[in-house]
Amino acid sequence: AAKEAPVDCIFCRIVAGKAPSKKVYEDQYVLAFWDIRPRAKVHLLVIPKQHVASLKELDELPVETRAALLSACVRVAKDQGILDKGFRVITNAGKDASQSVFHLHFHVVGGEQLREDAI
């Protein structure tokens, strides 16, 4: 059985509807919403509804969720109209990557020419 969502996790609170977000996509496995501090014209976050801390714990997620995460990244990029001009998908895992929210999330960024070191 899936572990209970940590009450202090901001992204679990967003999934539960206990914290606000600007949602752009949702299905049974994943949620996508605007980053609260966008660093590009388009800056979305794609997260699994089930809590895992980072990509390091990817294998704890059902295979359906793992597939849904990457598909959602492409889908939201398409919906934002940035699929053809180019976009970037990034996930920070752990200390050296400066991860700041410990609920797995993929940044989907684009809508402008991205610097090599952006996001």
Is 105 known to be catalytic? yes
Nearer to Zn ion, 42 or 61 (CB): 61
- Find the helix or strand (DSSP H, E) in which 13 lies: helix 10-15
Residue choice 51, 75, 105, 107 for contact with Zn ion (CB under 5 A):
51
Pairing mode of beta strands 23-26, 87-90: unpaired
Give the CA distances from residue 10 to residues 6, 67, 91, in Å, rounded to whole numbers and listed in that order: 9, 23, 17
Identify the active-site residue in 43, 51, 103, 105. Answer: 105
Q: Is 35 in the site for ligand 5GP (CB under 6 A)?
A: yes
Q: Which stretch binds ligand 5GP (CB under 6 A): 30-38, 56-64, 71-79, 109-117?
A: 30-38
